[in-house]
Amino acid sequence: MTRLRHRLKAYLVALRMTGYDTILYVEGRDNDPAFYGAVAKRYQVETGRQVDLRMATELPNAALPAAGGAGGKQALLRAAMFLERWCANRAIGLSGREIAFCVDKDIDEIEGKLNNCRGLIYTRLHSVENHLVVASDLVRALAPALSATEQLVARELNTYGNIQLLAQNWRDWVVCCLVAVALGIKDVGTYSRSSPVNAPPHGPADQALVQDFHLLLRRKCGLPVADFDLSLQRAFQIVDGLLQGGRFDEVFKGKWYGDILFSLLNSCPVLGSACRSAGKGGLWIGIRAAFMIPEGDYRYYEAGIRNSARA
């Protein structure tokens, strides 16, 4: 049976019938609801407002209404901008409800693409997954997923050091990603893929592979060598500046943490079998289950919700 489709305006008007005071639309299906669920739970306790969490896939496509539901970041951006314009022009009868659209910042800030629409809440870091990993006690999170004791997981993880230090091994790959984005090279799948220059993923970059990828990018973009090298130099400056400022998680894609953790645990003689059984999905389930939102993060998102356009 074909699902009934609505235009965005009709969909938003229907929110008049909801009993919720605050509605948060989120981008993803797994990690986003877990993260924003922690925000919503605390916000509801502190404010007394009833909070509803909804998926982006519920929204009609704002650009092509007849096409029906359209999940993801672009649908949230379109809906936020539409609602802001609508509220600015007339009262739409939603009785002071807070409606916010929560999206991953990705590298929009670096590209100068941040949207200042009042109803948008960007992640502070690259994406929700960064927050989940950076703020989590990974030992406590992964022990149940691996059916292992916390002492065993801690011993294995401590052999390699902090997960964020391992992520910094991907510096060269992040630079490649930024260059590809800056030069509009779309057919090499940089930010959409795991690093091909870190083998294994929890290890350092292979500089021969890095140089090969630089050559590939240069051929793809068609720029003179000097111009390409300048773009490469700029990307290194951005990444190294963020590294030095402790802000690497603004350019490191959080989903890549799953690749690093799986590779690391899979290499452990004792935990390798349990890691393969759990899979990357199982590791993320453990991280989500153990996550508790830090005070600073909560206050950032609380301010975003309060600043959202009240319809």
The answer to whether position 27 is within a domain reads yes
**Could you tell me if 207 and 278 lie in one domain?**
yes
Establish if 1 belongs to a structural domain. Answer: no
For residue 175, tell me if it sits in a domain. Answer: yes
Domain identity same for 173 and 109: no
Q: Are residues 163 and 262 in the same domain?
A: yes
Same domain, 56 and 145: no
List per-residue pLDDT tens for the chain, 311 residues long: 344 445 777 777 777 778 889 999 999 888 999 999 999 999 999 999 999 999 988 887 644 544 444 458 988 998 898 888 887 776 666 777 899 999 999 999 999 999 999 889 999 999 999 999 999 899 999 999 999 999 999 988 877 668 889 999 999 999 999 999 999 998 887 899 999 999 999 999 999 999 999 999 999 999 999 999 999 999 999 999 999 999 999 999 999 999 999 999 999 989 999 999 999 999 999 999 989 999 999 999 999 999 885 65
3-state secondary structure at position 46: helix
What distance in Å separates the CA atoms of residue 162 and residue 130, rounded to the nearest whole number? 14
Co-location of 143 and 113 in the same domain? no
Residue owning tokens 């943490």: 257
Q: Is the domain of 179 the same as that of 118?
A: no
pTM of this prediction exceeds 0.75: yes
SS (H, E, C) 233-284: HHHHHHHHHHHHCCCHHHCCCCCHHHHHHHHHHHCCCCCHHHHHHHHHHHHH
- What CA–CA distance (Å, rounded) separates 158 from 139? 10
102 in a domain, yes or no? Answer: yes
In a domain, 3, yes or no: no
CA distance 174 to 90: 45
Per the structure, the count of domains in the chain is 2
Residues 94 and 189 in one domain: no
Residue 24 belongs to some domain of the structure: yes
- The confidence score (pLDDT) of residue 190 equals 85
Residues 72, 44: one domain? yes
Q: Let me know if residue 247 belongs to a domain.
A: yes
Asked if residue 237 and residue 218 are part of one domain, the reply reads yes
The predicted pLDDT at position 309 comes to: 59
**Is 59 found in the same domain as 174?**
no
Whether residue 71 is found in the same domain as residue 143: no
- Tell me if 2 is assigned to some domain: no
What integer pLDDT is reported at residue 156 of this predicted model? 81
Distance CA 71, CA 58 (A): 7
pLDDT recorded at residue 69: 43
Domain extent for 64:
8-129+293-307
220 shares its domain with 278: yes
